[in-house]
Amino acid sequence: MVRRMESAARELEGFTYRAEPSSAGDSRTLLLLHGTGGDENDLIPLGHTLAPTAALLSPRGRVLEQGAPRFFRRLAEGVFDLDDLRRRTGELATFVANAAIEHELDPSRIIAVGFSNGANIAASVLLSHPSVLRGAVLFRAMVPFEPAEVARTNARVLLSEGRSDPLVSRATAERLAEILRDAGASVTLEWQPAGHQLTQGDVESGRRWLDREAI
C-alpha cells in the first residue's frame, strides 16, 4: 500500500488548501473540490482511493453560506449567482495555475474530482477556462451556466449522477453532458441507484474510469 505524509493546511491566492505529492512516477494531480459545508480535508480519502499514486490538491471554498464553505454563491437551491460564479471560477483557475508552479505539478495532467458544489465549479472551469483541466470526475453535477459561446476543450469527463437525486434532475444531467460534448469533451454519463449523496458505487465507478481512461 502506498503511504504518504499528510500535509498541513497552506495558503495561496486566498485559498486555504492541502497538497500531497505523487508517488511511483505518477504525473497526475487530482484537484479535489468539496461540496457545500466541506473543507480542504473532506475529499482527501476519496483522492487516495481513486488514484493512490496521484498528487492531490484540495482547496477550501472561499464563500460562506450560513457558515458553510462553498466555491460560489447561490441565490436559492439550484439558482446560481452567475456573476459570482464567473469571478470565483477565474480565482480557482488562477489558484490551480499558481499551485502547479508552487508544488511542481504537471499543469497538463490536472484532473478535477468534484462533488455537488465542487462538481459545479469544476464544470464551470471546463467551460470557461478549458486549458486548466485535462479531465474531470464530477459527482452530482448540475449545469453551472448556459454558455453563449462554447470554449473548446478536449477534456475527458465522467458524470456520475443519482437516479433519485432530488437536486439534480435527469434532464439537467443530460443537458450538462450535451454542453460539454458540444465543447469537444469526451463525456461518460453514468447513473447510480442513489440520491444526492456520494456512494461506494460512485467511488468504484470513478476509480474504474480513471484506470480505463489513463488520462
List the catalytic residues: 116, 165, 196
Residues 6+ apart with CB under 8 A from 132: 93, 96, 97, 107, 110, 125
Residue 106's nearest CA partner among 57, 155, 42 is: 57
Q: Count of residues for the chain? A: 215
Instruction: Give me the residue label for grid cell 489513463.
Output: 214
Amino acid identity of residue 209, one-letter, is W
Give CA–CA dist 178/209, Å, rounded: 19
Contact call for residues 115 and 139 (beta carbons, < 8 A): yes
Amino acid identity of residue 113, one-letter, is V
Give CA–CA dist 9/15, Å, rounded: 10
